[in-house]
Amino acid sequence: MSDENDVTMGDVNDNRVPDDDVQSPASGVDEGATGEAAEQEGDVKEDEQEDEKEEDPFIWKIENFSEIQDLKVFSEPFENAGHMWRILLFPKGNKNDCLSIYTEVYKHEDLPLGWTRSAKFRLEVLNQNDPGAHALKEETTTFSQAAPDFGFPKFLLLSVATDPKRGYIVDDTLIIRCKVDKAQPRRTAYSTYTTYDSKKETGLVGLKNQGATCYMNSLLQTMYHLGQFRKAVYEMPTENDWDNQPEKSIPLALQRVFHLLQYSDHAVSTKQLTKSFGWDSLEAFTQHDVQELNRVLCDNLEGKMKGTRVEGTVERLFRGKVFNYIKCVNVDYESSRTEDFYDLQLNVKGCEDLTKSFENYIEVEMLDGDNKYRAEGHGLQDAKKGVFLKELPPVLELQLKRFEYNPFQDAMCKINDKFIFPPEIDLEPYLAPDADRSVPSKYTLFSVLVHSGDVYGGHYYAFVKPTTGPQWYKFDDDRVTKVTNEQAIDENFGGEIRTTHVNFYGEKVTSVRKKFANAYMLVYIRDTDIEDILAPVEEEDIPAYLKEHFKREAEEEEARKKEKREAHLFAKVRVVFDEDLRAEGRELGFPEAEAKDDVYTCKLKRSLTLADLKAQMFKDKEFSVGPDRIRFWLHKMRPNSTRRPEAPKKDSAVLETLSYTGLDARLYAEVVPEDVPEDQVFKQDLKKEAFLFFKEYTPDAEKPSLRFVSPAYVPYTATVEDVKAVCRRLGGYDEGTEIEVYEEEKASIINSLKVGKTLFESGIDHGDIIVFQKKCAEDAEVKLAHAPDYYAHVLYRISVDVYNLEKPEEKEFTLEMSKRDLYGQVAQRVGEKVGADPLYLRFTCFCNYYKKPYRVPVKYSEKKTLTEMLQSYHRAPVTPILYYEKLEVDLPTLETKKSLKIKWVNTRSVLEQEVKVLVAKDAHISDVKAVMRQKLGFPEDKPIRICDVYSNKIHRILTEASSIYYFEEWTNLIASEVLPEEQTNEGGRVMTVAHAEQSGSILYTHGIPFVFKSIDGEKFVDTKKRLRERLPEDLSDEEFAGYKFARVAHGKPTFLKDDDELAKSDLHSITYLGIIHKDSSPPKRTSYRRSEVPIKIYN
């Protein structure tokens, strides 16, 4: 059976069969969808013109319904949304057993071709006995001259519609009500509004999304509309930043974004801002938490404002103070402190509204039982712990804790519970008793930042009320729309959506959907400050130098856009001269010469000729010859991917014919010197002579070189000996000098010319390159004695930065080597620099992902090349960074051994040293212990325990027979002395102990774990005394008293009381005994999502 909401569009006629498979556009984007395209639902409402007069619906009473014999009937025409409509009814059903109802454009046949009208229409069959049981369907669509009707073929079952007991037909009268409103075309995940103009509709513009930067866009719009904050950003001194790495200046980039938001007519790009953060393109596709960005960005700006006239702006606007206290119940003792805050994190779970959340925030916690407070001079005492708001900021930012850890799922989860927040709130009830109440604590809602989606992804957008007036705006990346108070506030409470409708069986159906779009961050402004904070920013508030620079940038941008628009009219011409080929660094040919910035380049209209190019060249640079002694050769791409001059072109040749695209012409300029007679200029027979380019290689022992000499014409019938004669002449060699000649096929291929064959027979043609050199003496000690050796050297050479692995931040030197150098050759070069035997050097490459040395050293192999040594994995990018370390044994020996690093920990759980152990690959832990005893100077019978540690917990205690086969150098192993009482399980049980901090229900392990033995019958109050002896000596009694102890099983702690017996625990089910430290660090961010990477701003 098809969906009851199925709709059909198109001309309605007697033969029309409804398509049950057509889905209603109303099913477009479900509110539960996630990602950048989710949460577009409701945009239609946002685009409705609020100032239009509300129109009455049209009501059609159909009397004597049972007597209608026609297949279809029409209502009277009516006007709604600026157009005439009518209702089309199939009283007997449109090829089905349902009442079929459509809305149709009246007299659509008279409309012009291409006419369209977007509309939202509602159709109702009224229940005349129960107003709550009307059968209702509505849809938003675009009507057109070609598709003038739209409706529902299965609106209501005929058996239901015609049953008087059901109330839809009374006295044989059926009543249909229709309402049509204007609407914007619906936007889906696959289409956008190309015609919507945010500036025109709202006077405001949005921010472009770079991929996943919606969270940043929402925050920037909120900060921009705080007038005082925007002024302060404008006043940050950036005069010197324009000439000193402007791309790294965050204040300058933010000033640019704010200025464009204020004056641009189109959505603004944030690429320069994120570039100033030091972010790469990957960051644009990594979604972060908006509250975290707010904190990091404000911290950065606060630091950069210091020492300027706007110093303290961030503190003045956003900083408040909280008063924390602990007051003993039975003794006269109280501890308190005042702390700064820039945003408050409020609970959502268990709180129905903002008032309850603030009450929960200041709720008094009793410290009693096992959680008593240790008061100085009074010991453990029952106490009350609480917090008050001491001082409130003008701009109050509230983060709603929508993300929390769910221990049952062992994952972060989003809380979509309904949470009501008011447009105004009075915070005086939450102030400390001694707080300054001279300033009223009444606040008005300014911004609502919404997260749509789940814990693993979604979309951010913001609602902002930028003035003291009633109008709210929705900022959804590049789109800005006017919205109502209800859309900005009420629709973002979260919770569930309950809708009741009548299906086509005439039954009332209630559906429940979770709202995955809800408020995540709220920004309130104090009423007494709101006029000043939201004061408009005028042009005179912007420094003159900023306006001048931004004006110049706008003009340059417009020039670039114009150039881009007109690019198809112009050709970019690059001309290579002989001096370009002779320049340093262009030893391998034309591509290198063309790529240089100083090669002559100009843009000319594509319709111009080479004669026009010559005229432009003579305007731009000086020549020692006239235009008639310059001839252009066109560069062509050959099948082997080289680019060479192939054929001369006449001055009448049109530029657009000189390249495949017509937009980019590359030429070589053949210049004939003045001393050549006029009658010999360009008189060569190009069918008999080849125009060749000659290079000379000099195999110097210190600095071999390759240089371009000159072009020359050589007959196709010339042999190798003839070519050598030309080379001697060009190189200035005597006639008897032995010459080697080669053809450069491409930068990586150079071959000897075939003796006994002519140029024609060897395939030599115009534009080919001949390389020659004076033959080296056989006894000459030259490394690159022949041109092919030099070409290979240039092709594979690489400059490698070398670091000592013990000081990975300090580069020691740079070596120029070949990518084909073998491991031994690399070790030899590095060994010469650091004064070490090459066999005692081991190397580690750079890890591109973690931006630090790779955790695994380069495996030694005589056949391994430098390229392979520089890759952290197969086919990884080659990063020219290499780390070395000096070994105690040679590499061949090391490859037959297993190297381990073991941390030696004393009985007080303090790390004393790291011991490097080298044993056979098939060794066991007993062998490792023997080496450790020897290195540490212990007796051979001294008992040692070695443990495998993971996540600061002992994974397993290794036995003497444990194999080390799967251990690597980076495996975390700790060793310690075995205490006498721990050598057997008699009278107790050996267990592991780990340090942890608790945040919510999550335990974060840290520090050095150790092994401990419980004693049968021992109360835990005495066990703690023994545990105290296993902790560092500098641990104070007060700090130890703040520790809690718990049996931890599967990450869940069960806290121990003083009269518990640890030995009676089911030790097989316990993961470890946890020493739970008092968490003195700020609360961990409850919105943390596993896929997130912490935000860093690098500049």
CA distance 851 to 867: 18
Nearest Cα residue to 310 out of 49, 543, 587: 543
- Cβ distance 686 to 735 under 8 Å? no
Cβ atoms within 10 Å of 337's Cβ, excluding its own: 9
- Cβ distance 1071 to 252 under 8 Å? no
Residues 6+ away with beta carbon under 8 Å from 207: 213, 216, 217, 220, 221, 257, 261, 267, 268, 269, 270, 475, 477, 478
As beta bridge partners, residue 344 has: 398
Place of tokens 């995955």: 516
- Cβ distance 750 to 642 under 8 Å? no
Identify whether 459 is a catalytic site residue. Answer: yes
Active-site residue, from 459, 549, 635, 766 = 459
Nearest Cα residue to 888 out of 858, 864, 918: 918
List b or e across 888-920, with b for residues whose CB sees 16 or more CB atoms inside 10 angstroms: eeebeebeeebbbebbbbeebbeeeeebebbbe
CA distance 152 to 8: 6
Cα end-to-end span (Å), the chain: 61
Torsion of Cα atoms, 906 then 909 then 915 then 919, to 10°: 90
CA distance 195 to 846: 50
- Cβ distance 99 to 161 under 8 Å? yes
Question: Across the chain, which distance is largest between two alpha carbons, in Å?
Answer: 125
CA distances from 425 to 396, 525, 824 (A): 11, 10, 74
Alpha-carbon dihedral sign for residues 343, 344, 345, 346 = negative
As beta bridge partners, residue 475 has: 462, 480
Write the single-letter amino acid at 678.
E
Identify whether 214 is a catalytic site residue. Answer: yes
CA distance 1073 to 1024: 12
Residues 6+ away with beta carbon under 8 Å from 565: none
DSSP H helices in 404-529: 485-488
Residues 6+ away with beta carbon under 8 Å from 733: 727, 739, 774
Active-site residue, from 98, 108, 178, 214 = 214
In terms of Cβ atoms closer than 10 Å to its own Cβ (0-12, 13-18, 19+), residue 957 is middle
- Cβ distance 603 to 612 under 8 Å? no
Nearest Cα residue to 255 out of 318, 213, 197, 305: 305
Report helix angle 214-224 to 250-263, nearest 10: 70
SS3 label, residue 927: helix
- Cβ distance 314 to 239 under 8 Å? no
Length of the chain: 1099
Nearest Cα residue to 502 out of 162, 139, 133, 128: 133
- Cβ distance 539 to 231 under 8 Å? no
Nearest Cα residue to 936 out of 973, 968, 971, 976: 976
Nearest Cα residue to 72 out of 122, 13, 125, 21: 13
Residues acting as catalytic residues: 214, 459
